[in-house]
Amino acid sequence: MLLEVRDIHVHYGKIAALKGISLDVADGEIVALIGANGAGKSTTLKTISGLRPLSGGQIVFDGQDISKLAGHKRVRLGIGQAPEGRGIFPGMTVQENLLMGAYARKGSVSRELATVYELFPRLAERKSQYGGTMSGGEQQMLTIGRALMTNPKVLLLDEPSMGLAPMLVAQIFEIIKEINSRGTTVLLVEQNAHQALQLAHRAYVLETGRIFKSAAASELLHDPEVRAAYLGGDLGVS
Measured in whole angstroms, the distance separating CA 206 from the mean position of its chain's CA atoms is 15
- Whether 92 contacts 100, CB under 8 Å: yes
The per-residue pLDDT for 230 is 87
Residue-wise pLDDT for 134-191, tens only, equals 999 999 999 999 999 999 999 999 999 998 988 899 999 999 999 999 999 999 999 8
pTM beyond 0.85, yes or no: yes
Distances (CA, A) of 205 to 32, 160, 192, 212: 8, 18, 13, 5
CA–CA dist 21, 8 (Å, integer): 5
The per-residue pLDDT for 238 is 32
Domains belonging to the chain, first-starting first, are 3-92+154-230 (3.40.50.300)
The per-residue pLDDT for 43 is 97
The per-residue pLDDT for 105 is 74
The per-residue pLDDT for 191 is 87
Which positions of the chain have pLDDT values less than 50? 234-238
